[in-house]
Structure 1
């Protein structure tokens, strides 16, 4: 089910890989089309003399094999989250097994894709050759076509719609559970900060004022010192409450949006941080808050563990998704481990059905990306 759940996210493929896919796929598609059509026609025509049955058996096996090959090819070249085929179990004699294959919906979906993708492959082959010469075609058009091809492959070669909806429901249920856990952890943090910070300050204020009251008539100098002490503690309590409120929802984020809020975060970071934000139209408050805290926690992790000298924060909007990307030039080796800091980012993103991905080879750089939907 976890593999099927990955269908919810399909990144846009790399232009160079997509051009290679378009060009290299054409001879494969040509061979597939000729073999399957020829074997099917010959097998059907000679079925009356029984020799057509083993020919059709070969055609069926090739269709299924080519379908699995296409799944692997699309998965690796176009970065499409394509799970392996789930085929109907077949037992008994070869005739029974063949009949099970023929009645398996996945076999017919394989055949439909292979027949449809041949004329599409001719067009993609031409576009791939043009993309080699014309850079704008390669940069803008080719990845979009590769993405569309991946969607077509998902529709025909991926799990049936009912199974995809079931996987989505399971993923949403899991993300909601993680969201509840994250909210509970946040509640405990607020309680701890109140108890260890502002509450202690206010208790100290009350004690200082009580002691000052006893000195009211007979020790003016001690009274002044106690009032000064209470005044200092009161200011510290107000400051800690202000910091706590800012940790819940920063005022600059509500008033001026992500650009100003993230720029303020970057200014406080111990390393140099470049910030670029383009999220118009302004996303919902829940998305802004999640993006803000993801960036903040990512920068904190970078300062503690990455040994980086600089970082780059990019936030942009694509249709109904806000993408947050934090890159650093540190030592790399980061990963999403249960209980780790990056797992906390994933839990926070999950509260709005967002997804966190981490690319961090040894030696760096590290790229943390969050895809946050604006509708859920």
Structure 2
């Protein structure tokens, strides 16, 4: 089963793989050179021949080329750099050629496309030189190329992506959906707590009360039977206390608040039947909401590993990355895990969404399975 990624926050430029970044830098130079030459020549010739009207159709064609090249650059950056660039929204225009051309000239997207195409050519010259050097020096390619690809993708996202109003609207929609999923997750958690109380501790306490009542009635004439009932009530009371303790631990584990995430995850790993290696490096300590979310993501994932994966080894890594905490759980099981609505991993994604976190699942058939959570420390 191929990996499935969770819902991504809008407007985030990922860091591309080194091979794709190098290919983008080398091949992108030829593409940028052709685009730059055609646009500059078309613009210069069109303006120079406007006085004899020949320049008007040349400028029309050049304007169309700018828009087409802009669309091509969006697809190119999306494919090679993973830049989340949506296609440009270009509304239909009625009327003749001059009317449509006038609309294209006043469309801000056209000028943003032109600005990007003019800027990217000198940039592509530098990138081409670095790309050729990266091919020769492999360590440079592995470390430098992804960062150059990230910077180029960020530039493309800024100039070719939606304008500020559209980005804000998209982010608002994302946050609204994230909050809705968080509310659903909280409601599901509330129902689980109610069910555990009703089916567990509450039933135990009712049994305690009934046993004590019966013992009270027998205390005068049958002390032996009364003692047996008191012993039974005592055993039920201890079970009720144990169940309440487990329930409280499921709401917020005391070890997490007292000793932090490293100790809490180590305690979880010790209870897992599959050997688990735990590595935590999250200084400074993140907010309590992030710690709690990370704790439950790891706990649920390790439960799934033990029940369904067939793994013989698992690893939990948690680290800080700027203003995020990254949680990554890996196992060597059979793979095939899916992130789907209503499933266990879907529930983890909903829990992460309460703090604008994102869950990503990569689980090809035959394994290994990698489940990653990106949890922001600021909202």
> What range is the shorter-chain TM-score in?
over 0.9
| Offset of residue 5 of structure 1 | 7.5
Which is worse superposed, 229-238 or 269-278? 269-278
Q: What's the counterpart of residue 240 of structure 2?
A: 237
Cα distance between partner residues in 2 of 1:268 and 1:11: 35
1:303 equivalenced with 2:306 (yes/no)? yes
Aligned residues: 373
Within the candidate set 48, 52, 67, 1:49 is matched to 52
Instruction: Report 1:9-28 matches (<5 A).
Output: 9-28=12-31
Q: Relative to 1, partners in 2 of residues 1:175 and 1:150: Cα closer, same or farther, differing over 3 Å?
A: same
Cα distance between partner residues in 2 of 1:277 and 1:329: 20
Instruction: Report 1:199-214 matches (<5 A).
Output: 199-214=202-217
Q: What's the counterpart of residue 173 of structure 1?
A: 176
Q: What's the counterpart of residue 64 of structure 1?
A: 67
| Offset of residue 148 of structure 1 | 1.6
Cα distance between partner residues in 1 of 2:320 and 2:329: 15
Output one character per residue of 1:320-376: Cα deviation in whole Å (capped at 9) or x when no partner: 111122222233333222211121111101111111222222332222221111111
Instruction: Report 1:102-113 matches (<5 A).
Output: 102-113=105-116
Q: What's the counterpart of residue 249 of structure 1?
A: 252
Cα distance between partner residues in 1 of 2:338 and 2:47: 54
TM-score, normalised to structure 2, is: 0.93
Within the candidate set 320, 328, 331, 2:331 is matched to 328
1:161 equivalenced with 2:164 (yes/no)? yes
Q: Structure 2 stretches of 5 or more lacking a match? A: 1-6
- Structure with bigger RCO (C-alpha 8 Å, 6+ apart): 2
SS of the residue aligned with 1:7? Answer: coil
Cα distance between partner residues in 2 of 1:318 and 1:232: 49
Q: Structure 1 stretches of 5 or more lacking a match? A: none
Q: Relative to 1, partners in 2 of residues 1:208 and 1:5: Cα closer, same or farther, differing over 3 Å?
A: closer
C-alpha contact (below 8 Å) 1:5/1:167 kept by paired residues: no
SS of the residue aligned with 2:10? Answer: helix
TM-score, normalised to structure 1, is: 0.94
1:188 equivalenced with 2:210 (yes/no)? no
Q: CA RMSD in A?
A: 1.8
C-alpha contact (below 8 Å) 2:326/2:373 kept by paired residues: yes
| Offset of residue 6 of structure 1 | 4.7
| Offset of residue 129 of structure 1 | 2.5
1:150 equivalenced with 2:153 (yes/no)? yes
Cα distance between partner residues in 1 of 2:342 and 2:180: 16
Cα distance between partner residues in 2 of 1:35 and 1:302: 57
SS of the residue aligned with 1:323? Answer: strand
Q: Relative to 1, partners in 2 of residues 1:200 and 1:364: Cα closer, same or farther, differing over 3 Å?
A: same
| Offset of residue 119 of structure 1 | 1.3
| Offset of residue 214 of structure 1 | 2.1
Q: Relative to 1, partners in 2 of residues 1:106 and 1:186: Cα closer, same or farther, differing over 3 Å?
A: same
Output one character per residue of 1:156-188: Cα deviation in whole Å (capped at 9) or x when no partner: 000001110111111111111111111111111
Cα distance between partner residues in 2 of 1:152 and 1:265: 43
Q: Relative to 1, partners in 2 of residues 1:114 and 1:268: Cα closer, same or farther, differing over 3 Å?
A: same
Within the candidate set 83, 88, 102, 1:85 is matched to 88
Output one character per residue of 1:206-262: Cα deviation in whole Å (capped at 9) or x when no partner: 112112222323333223222221111111111101100000011111112112211
Within the candidate set 220, 224, 245, 1:221 is matched to 224
